[in-house]
Amino acid sequence: MNKINFNFDKRTAVITGGAQGFGLDIAKRFLNSGAKVIIWDIDPEMTEKTVKDLNNSNLSSKIVDVSNFNEVEKCVSEIIKESNVDILINNAGITGPTSTLWEYDVEIWKKVVDINLIGTFNCCKAIVPNMIKNNYGRIVNVASVAGKDGNSNASAYSAAKAGAIGLTKSLGKELANKNIAVNAVTPAGAKTRILDQMTKEHVQRMLSKVPRGRFLEVEEFTSLICWLSSEENTFSTAAVFDISGGRSTY
């Protein structure tokens, strides 16, 4: 696919879950567009490999558990000593196991919500004050079509992503009088490692709901993220951008 050029010169972006999947592709595109990129990820080996493979002086990384506010706050305080955070991509997430709600392990249910929803809250809470100070910011929260529709046997993931959508709408309105845009994206299933966490039956059920008849390509997703993160997005905020291949039409 042809890629539109974006200008992220002199912009610093934090990408959570940036060592693989969606986050990695976003990091690559941001770097190619001139941004300084800071990857936050919880997987040390994957993060080290990503930084080594990309071999870019504008790329750095931190091992961060986004569900731990103290860790997030510490990392933000270190960043703003030297620069601002202009762009935040809340991408870190896990699907959790496929299980009926009444059979779902309580602690795992909480963990899924902690990473997907509380993690998004933590990062926004820590970074937004810096954006307010500089009267500039672009925040994109990676939700899911599951947050709109609710996927059976995925109550934790569906609930957490629905929460991320609600958070986006609230924060976007709170910041609407500033030059800070807060939006969410709701992808359908994509060809990333997150599919490996699901059963084949669950994956096939997801695919059967997509009128396009295929999974989302990572590059297609990244293009939408880039526009929402750019200075070209001057008006859209507190909104939910669907990229589900026709599965959701609202």
Q: What is the mean pLDDT of residues 94-119?
A: 97
How high does pLDDT run on average in the chain?
A: 94
Q: Tokens 């809340």, residue?
A: 90
| 71-102 pLDDT tens trace | 999 999 999 999 999 999 999 999 999 999 99
What CATH code is carried by the domain that includes residue 195?
3.40.50.720
Residues 20 and 22: their CA atoms lie apart, in Å, by 6
Q: What is the pTM assigned to this prediction?
A: 0.93
Residue 171 confidence (pLDDT): 99
Residue 40 confidence (pLDDT): 98
Per the structure, the complete domain to which residue 87 belongs is given by: 12-243
pLDDT band at 125 (very low <50, low <70, confident <90, very high): very high
Residue 48: inside a domain: yes
Residue 122: inside a domain: yes
Q: Hey, which residues are catalytic here?
A: 157
Residue 85: inside a domain: yes
Residue 111: inside a domain: yes
**Closest among 190, 156, 167 to 20, alpha carbons compared:** 190
pLDDT band at 246 (very low <50, low <70, confident <90, very high): confident
Report whether 122 contacts 167 (CB < 8 A). no
Residues 82 and 75: their CA atoms lie apart, in Å, by 12
pLDDT band at 193 (very low <50, low <70, confident <90, very high): low
Residue 250: inside a domain: no
Report whether 159 contacts 95 (CB < 8 A). no
How many whole angstroms from its chain centre is CA 108?
20
Residue 194 confidence (pLDDT): 62
Q: Torsions phi, psi of 103, nearest 5?
A: -105, 0
Q: Could you tell me which residue, 2 or 36, shows the higher pLDDT?
A: 36
pLDDT band at 4 (very low <50, low <70, confident <90, very high): confident
Residue 158 confidence (pLDDT): 98
Residue 28: inside a domain: yes
Residues 153 and 192: their CA atoms lie apart, in Å, by 20
| 170-187 pLDDT tens trace | 999 999 999 999 999 999
Residue 209: inside a domain: yes
Residue 178: inside a domain: yes
Is 199 a residue whose pLDDT tops 80? no
Write the burial class of residue 52 (CB in 10 Å: 0-12 exposed, 13-18 middle, 19+ buried): exposed
| 156-172 pLDDT tens trace | 999 999 999 999 999 99
Is 192 a residue whose pLDDT tops 70? no
Residue 197 confidence (pLDDT): 66
Total number of domains constituting the chain:
1
